[in-house]
Every structure is written in C-alpha cells, then in structure tokens.
Amino acid sequence: MNQHTKNRNSWLALNGRKLIISGPCSAETEEQVLETARALAQSGKVDYFRAGIWKPRTMPGSFEGIGKEALIWMKKAKEETGLKITVEVATPQHVYEAIKAGVDALWIGARTTVNPFAVQDLADAVEGLDIPIFIKNPINPDIKLWMGAVERFKKAGITRIGLVHRGFSFLGETKYRNRPQWQIPIEMMVTYPDLPMICDPSHICGNRSLLQAVAQKAIDLNYDGIMLEAHPTPDDAWSDAKQQVTPTRLHEIVDSLVLRESRQNDDLIQNNLELLRGEIDEIDADLLAILGKRMNVAKRIGHFKKERNITILQQKRWEEIVQRFIDLGMKQGLSREFSIKLITAIHDESINNQEKIFRGED
C-alpha cells in the first residue's frame, strides 16, 4: 500500500479492507430495523449499520421518517449485533437526539450539503464533539459546496471526516438516478488526500441492476468503501424501494468486489484518460438523447406542415438556422465548417423524417 492510500483512510484503520456501510434507506418498524441489522451483522463484513430516521423527501406527502422513536430501535440493533450505527442529521436537534442515543457516526445528506446555512448550523452543533462525520456530495454538481461543507466541519474541530459520493441530479434521461460524474469525487480525493472516499451506488443507480458495476468501478478508482441500502423485503420499502437489496444480495455484491493493487489504481487516477473517456461517453449519450428530442419536435412540425399543405423546405428558415448554428458554435470554440456539417446532417435527417410523414409512413 502506498503512502497516498495509507494517509487517505487512516482514521478508518481499514488495513487494506474496504469500509462497508449498509442498512435500510429508512427505519420503518422495530422489527425491520432489527431483522436487517441481524442479517447484516452475520457476515462480519459490515462496519456501520445505517438507517434514515428523518428523511428529507423531495415531495411532501412521501414518508418522512419515524423520527427519534426509531433511534431507540437503532440503539437496540447496536447493542444486539455490535454493529456501529449511523444516521442522517439535518438540524442541530437531530444531532442532539442522535448523540443522546449513542449514534457512532453522523452523515450529512445531499439535500443538506447544498445549503451552507444548514451545514454551518450542524458544524456549530458538533463543535467540540469527537464523532466521525460522513459528508455526502451536494445534489448538484458543484464541488465547491462539497468542499465548503468539509471546511466548515474541519473548522468546528471534527477530525474524522469521510466523503460519500452519491451522484448528481441531472435534468434529462440518463441510466442513473443521479449521474456519477466521477471526475468530481476524483478532484475531491486530490484536494483532500487525507479524507476517505465512500461510494453510495444505491443513490447513484436508483435501481438494483447497476449496483454491482458502480460499486466495482468505485473500488477500481481506489475508493475506501461502499454504502449500500439493504432491506429485508426491498419491494415493500417505504422509501427508495427500487434500489434496495436484501441483506443476502448485499453480501453477494460485497463478496464479488475485486480488490486491485493500489499501485494500478493510483495509475488510473493519475491517468485521467480513463475518466475523461467516461465523461465523453456520458456526453455522447446526452447528445444523442437531445438529438432524439429534436427529431421528435421536427416530426411534430412535419405533421403540422402536412395538415396545412406547406412545403417541407422553407429556404429562409433554413438559412437562419445555419447562421444561428455557426454563431453559437463559434462561441463554443467550434469551427464554421464543423457547425455547417453538423447542422446539415441533422437537418437532412429531419427532412427524411418529415418526408416519411408526408408519405403517410409515420
């Protein structure tokens, strides 16, 4: 293990292992909490048992958590299984209740990291406490907000800080619930070489099928651990049902992770090519999704023209489009020649589609 890796997860004392945090998205009932904790503890591979007690939900009316009553269940789970426990805190009152219940680590959710007022209130609330704090990335891809949260907790004297990468929200179609944008956590690792980086594939993926691949990618990038949601009957979960797995499946995923020599991993980080290629692939997918959307609008125009018996090619409109494309392209550093080629190809495809509509084939 090289110096970089040794420094990065030093407070976790992992000795080459990966930190595993698991548990349900939300604490729902005492039975569900205890059943999950027992099943997760059996393997000896889980370090922290997690559960949301207070749930920041995007929409009102969704299940907003049991509240402090569930802390009693968490405490029981800890006493019975020996697992350390962690909960999300979003207000100083949450911190107070969690500490009182003997919670071993706190985590800051993505919807809190975005808000410097809330983060400062939490930093003030933990000042002087010796407790580990995991900070999730903000929901939007703004690395400064993530760094700001780290700085606020550091200033409050917190020495055991962990970073949790849970992906970034994105308007548009993507195979992920929250796009990973790996270059952002990588930049955090470079900026804070002493802070462990944990991946949360559950909230990145939003569904079970991609969890294993995302977890492995994080391991390949030399992350220090994984946070994965587990529930005894995932489909019945009161929140995030699609992305949760049974404790059995959780263990299968953890067991399947292939650990690699950190030497190679560091090369991977230094060799930005891999990451940049990943970025290109994501951008290409976005480009095609946007082109698909554009084509749908062109088809609607085709139907409109057909109904009103208007010609497909409107010369004046076409000239305007080309000029606009050239101007916008120049602002993006794209050559005039390229912009013309691109819009001509897109326009040809639109015309082909509109012709099909005129022929009654679409």
Binding-site ranges for ligand PEP (CB under 6 A):
25, 52, 109-111, 136, 166, 203
- Cα distances (Å, whole numbers) of residue 127 to 68, 123, 332: 22, 6, 46
Please, what is the minimum distance in Å from the beta carbon of residue 300 to ligand PEP?
36
Token output for 199: 């991946």
26 beta partners: 52
- Decide whether 180 or 329 has the Cβ nearer to ligand PEP: 180
Return the exposure string of 140-158: e unless at least 16 CB atoms fall within 10 Å of the residue's CB, then b.
ebebebbebbbebbeebeb
Query: Among ligand PEP, Mn ion, none, what binds residue 18 when CB lies within 5 to 8 Å by partner kind?
Result: none
Q: What's the rounded Cα separation, in Å, for the pair 28 and 9?
A: 32
- Decide whether 224 or 240 has the Cβ nearer to Mn ion: 240
Query: Among Mn ion, ligand PEP, none, what binds residue 24 when CB lies within 5 to 8 Å by partner kind?
Result: none
In 156-210, beta strands by DSSP E: 161-165, 197-199
Q: What's the rounded Cα separation, in Å, for the pair 109 and 111?
A: 5
Q: What's the rounded Cα separation, in Å, for the pair 250 and 257?
A: 11
Q: What's the rounded Cα separation, in Å, for the pair 51 and 202?
A: 13
Query: Which residues of this protein are in contact with Mn ion, per CB under 5 A?
Result: 25, 240
- Decide whether 111 or 305 has the Cβ nearer to ligand PEP: 111
- Cα distances (Å, whole numbers) of residue 130 to 113, 158, 221, 225, 245: 20, 7, 29, 21, 32
- Decide whether 47 or 240 has the Cβ nearer to Mn ion: 240
Please, what is the minimum distance in Å from the beta carbon of residue 244 to Mn ion?
8
- Decide whether 236 or 281 has the Cβ nearer to ligand PEP: 236
Closest residue to Mn ion using C-beta atoms? 25
- Decide whether 20 or 110 has the Cβ nearer to ligand PEP: 110
Please, what is the minimum distance in Å from the beta carbon of residue 95 to ligand PEP?
16
Query: Among ligand PEP, Mn ion, none, what binds residue 234 when CB lies within 5 to 8 Å by partner kind?
Result: none
Please, what is the minimum distance in Å from the beta carbon of residue 25 to ligand PEP?
5
Backbone angles phi, psi at 99, to 5 degrees: -65, -40
- Decide whether 25 or 87 has the Cβ nearer to Mn ion: 25
Please, what is the minimum distance in Å from the beta carbon of residue 282 to Mn ion?
23
- Decide whether 50 or 343 has the Cβ nearer to ligand PEP: 50
Angle, helix 247-256 to helix 30-41, in steps of 10 degrees: 30
Please, what is the minimum distance in Å from the beta carbon of residue 55 to ligand PEP?
6
Closest residue to ligand PEP using C-beta atoms? 109
Query: Among ligand PEP, Mn ion, none, what binds residue 90 when CB lies within 5 to 8 Å by partner kind?
Result: none
Please, what is the minimum distance in Å from the beta carbon of residue 24 to Mn ion?
8
- Cα distances (Å, whole numbers) of residue 98 to 51, 90, 231: 12, 11, 22
Query: Among Mn ion, ligand PEP, none, what binds residue 4 when CB lies within 5 to 8 Å by partner kind?
Result: none
Burial group, residue 138, by CB count within 10 angstroms (0-12, 13-18, 19+): buried
Q: What's the rounded Cα separation, in Å, for the pair 244 and 253?
A: 12
Query: Among Mn ion, ligand PEP, none, what binds residue 110 when CB lies within 5 to 8 Å by partner kind?
Result: ligand PEP
Query: Among ligand PEP, Mn ion, none, what binds residue 97 when CB lies within 5 to 8 Å by partner kind?
Result: none
